[in-house]
A = this chain, B = another copy of it.
Amino acid sequence: MTMQSVQLDALDARLVEMLAVEPRIGVLELSRRLVVARGTVQARLDKLIARGAIKSFGPEVIPEAIGFGVMSFVTLEISQRYGHTAVAAHLADIPEVLEAHTITGSGDVLCRIVARSNADLQRVIDQIVGYEGIVRAHTIIALAELIHYRTLPLVKAASLA
């Protein structure tokens, strides 16, 4: 589970790129387009996955498209008596909490939360702060998405080196 060889070469990058653009493409077609042997593509992919560089090929669900149109970032201040672990467990129980990180700065935890509406967001936040380990929450609502989550540019940049 180590991840030493943290370097991508040009082939890896092009591989990931093509997969990102056309996920259903298949190993064989990839090998044709990249002009390498099928086994090579297979081996590279296996290695990328084993190394952890590619976590999965799961479906990317858009919360907005399934009724959760409100997105927000909530900063939590947690009581020192309670560890992050307990708070994390509490947050994990709430489906609307999409991710959570401990952070530097004035807050302790930053999490991304979605809701069906602003009113619904209130409900979710109430649920979050209902836990005694959480002292208070600071909510920021995302108005518009300027850049949708992406990693392709990063992959390209990483392979240039």
**Hey, which bits of chain A sit against chain B, CB under 8 A?**
3, 6-8, 16, 19-21, 23-24, 51-68, 71, 73, 84, 87-88, 91-92, 94-105, 107, 109-112, 114, 140-151, 153-158
Contacts and interface: CB of A to CB of B under 8 A. Distances in A.
Given A63-B151, A65-B6, A157 B95 contact: yes
Given A54-B62, A56-B60, A61-B155, 20 more contacts: A6-B65, A6-B67, A7-B66, A7-B67, A20-B56, A23-B57, A52-B65, A54-B61, A55-B60, A55-B61, A57-B60, A61-B154, A68-B154, A73-B110, A96-B157, A98-B149, A98-B150, A101-B145, A102-B142, A110-B142
B57 A62 contact: no
Contacts of A52: 62, 65
A16 B150 contact: no
Given A63-B154, A154-B68, A147 B58 contact: no
A73 B16 contact: no
A150 B66 contact: no
Oligomeric state, in number of copies? 2
A105 B139 CA distance: 9
Contacts of A154: 61, 63, 66, 68, 95-96, 98, 114
